[in-house]
């Protein structure tokens, strides 16, 4: 359960950053951010893997860049279901998906799946005198 809550919080944060940075992407209201975060998680868990499999040749030919198009499609799909989430065309969806991907990737890297900040401690074997 903590992993789900962390993932939801990361999705909401990523959508908030994209909303602030991407012209043509508008999410109105805190409730819409929460619903969009939930729906993005569901869409990424159920629809995205099927699309990734079906578009594998394009993804290989573009050296993985086609995944951004799929991410834009997932963001567009979420916006279809939510009235207060608008995207003005494919460029807004593309740049929004890029910002969401970068933000959620960086946040997931900094925050572990358990919700704690992972730190690496290096101790020297030499004693200070």
Show me where the domains of the chain are located: 2-110
Say what the pLDDT of residue 59 is: 94
Q: Which is more confident, 79 or 117?
A: 79
Span 54-69, average pLDDT = 95
- Beta bridge mates, 87: 25
Point out the least confidently predicted range of 21-30, 32-41, 65-74, 113-122: 113-122
pLDDT of 100 > 90? The answer is yes
* Band of pLDDT at residue 3, cut at 50, 70 and 90: confident
* Band of pLDDT at residue 115, cut at 50, 70 and 90: low
Does residue 74 contact residue 49 with C-beta atoms inside 8 Å? Answer: no
Say what the pLDDT of residue 21 is: 96
- Counting residues of the chain whose pLDDT is more than 70, the rounded percentage is 85
* Band of pLDDT at residue 110, cut at 50, 70 and 90: confident
Does residue 106 contact residue 117 with C-beta atoms inside 8 Å? Answer: no
Mark out the alpha helices in the chain (DSSP H runs).
2-21, 30-46, 48-54, 56-61, 66-81, 90-110
- When the pLDDT of each residue in the chain is averaged and rounded to a whole number, the result is 88
pLDDT tens across 9-58, in order?
A: 889 999 999 999 999 999 999 999 999 999 999 999 999 999 999 999 99
């Amino acid at each position: 359960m903590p992993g789900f809550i962390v993932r939801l919080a990361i999705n909401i944060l990523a959508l908030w950053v994209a909303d602030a940075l991407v012209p043509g992407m508008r999410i109105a209201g805190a409730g819409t951010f929460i619903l969009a975060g939930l729906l993005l998680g569901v869409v990424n868990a159920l629809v995205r893997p099927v699309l990734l499999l079906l578009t594998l040749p394009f993804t290989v030919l573009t050296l993985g860049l086609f995944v951004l198009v799929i991410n834009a499609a997932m963001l567009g799909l979420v916006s279809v279901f939510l009235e207060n989430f608008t995207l003005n065309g494919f460029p807004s969806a593309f740049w929004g998906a890029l910002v969401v991907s970068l933000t959620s990737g960086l946040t997931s890297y900094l925050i572990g799946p358990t919700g704690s900040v992972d730190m690496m401690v290096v101790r020297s074997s030499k004693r200070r005198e």
